[in-house]
Amino acid sequence: MRGRPVLLAFLAAALVASVLSGSRAAGAGAGAARAVPSRAAIDPARFTTTIDNPWFPLVPGTTRVYIGRRDGKSATNTVTVTANTKRIVGVDTVIVEDKGYLAGRLAESTLDYYAQDDAGAVWYFGEDTAEYDRHGRVVSTEGTWLTGRGGAQPGIIMAAEPVVGKRIRQEYLRGHAEDWYRVIDLARPVTVPYGSFPDALVTAEWTPLEPTVRDHKYYARGIGEVREVAVHGPNEALDLQRVIRPGA
């Protein structure tokens, strides 16, 4: 994964208060679109590991399988919502395991950490990443960041009530994790191997660390992400092939 934005660490107290109240009111107010509260402003009591945002539901035991192309090779991603949690700056987060395969070989694995606030917005608190060579050896953990370490801040991966045109920071660790997204459509039809959806939410995602790259992501209500495609930069695309439900 490339990144997901957050707030700047040195916001004035009044601005932080405004951002938090905006998030409660609409899942991400105008102030929240450009920043994310400092670690000191995070109240663990506002968060839960029950993540039922309709555009980004995380039900433990669910695995989503994606297929497509990346770096000119066949690609498969498996995204599993585990029953495990990790406490980060006092907030209990859900651990999601993401494994990426290129031409059948494990190329990257990530543990992502999410929690939902009391307004219904899903926050991204960090990730542990590993990239592998063709022998299965870890060659990089460059994408790793955790809220509270080295100035890293959490971001919002999905607002409670998405609004077209609003920019939201998904993550922040200067020079390492600076992803943003903007909702560009709330009802676009999309067809993937898993099925057809008449009203997908579509976001544009980018990072200043890779200014020539831009992705579009499609989300289906009650399922989550169903398509990711690069619209600028490398020729990459992943589509949802199947969903394995708990107990299946």
Dump pLDDT digits (tens) for 27-69: 333 333 445 555 557 999 999 999 999 999 999 999 999 999 9
For residue 186, pLDDT beyond 50: yes
> Which residues on neighbouring strands pair with residue 74, listed in sequence order?
69
Q: What is the pLDDT of residue 36?
A: 55
Query: Do the domain assignments include residue 38?
Result: yes
Whether pLDDT at 101 is above 80: yes
- In angstroms, what CA-CA distances link 248 with 62, 241, 243, 244? 9, 16, 10, 6
User: How many Cβ atoms are within 10 Å of 215's Cβ, its own excluded?
Assistant: 22
1 in a domain, yes or no? no
Per-residue pLDDT, averaged over 218-232, amounts to 97
pLDDT for residue 204? 98
Q: Which structure tokens are listed for 136?
A: 């299965």
pLDDT tens digits, one per residue of 115-150: 999 999 999 999 999 999 999 999 999 989 999 999
Number of structural domains found in the chain: 1
**4 in any annotated domain:** no
Q: How far apart are CA 243 and CA 228, in angstroms?
A: 16
What was the pLDDT predicted at 233?
Answer: 86
Per the domain annotation, does 40 fall within a domain? Answer: yes
Q: What's the CATH number where 67 sits? A: 2.40.360
- Asked if residue 188 is part of any domain, the answer here is yes
Q: Please check whether residue 6 lies inside any domain of the structure.
A: no
Confidence (pLDDT) at 247: 81
Beta bridge partners of 182: 167, 204
**What average pLDDT score do residues 207-228 get?**
96
Residue 159 scores a pLDDT above 60: yes
Residue 153 within any structural domain of the chain: yes
Question: Taking CA 110 as the corner, what is the angle to CA 186 and CA 141, rounded to the nearest 5 degrees?
Answer: 125
- State mean pLDDT over 154-172: 96
**pLDDT exceeds cutoff 70 at 91:** yes
Is there a contact between 111 and 128 (Cβ–Cβ < 8 Å)?
yes
| Residue 145: domain span | 13-244
What does the pLDDT read at residue 79?
A: 98
In a domain? residue 154:
yes
pLDDT of 72: 87
User: What residue has token string 């990346």?
Assistant: 70
> pLDDT value at position 234?
85
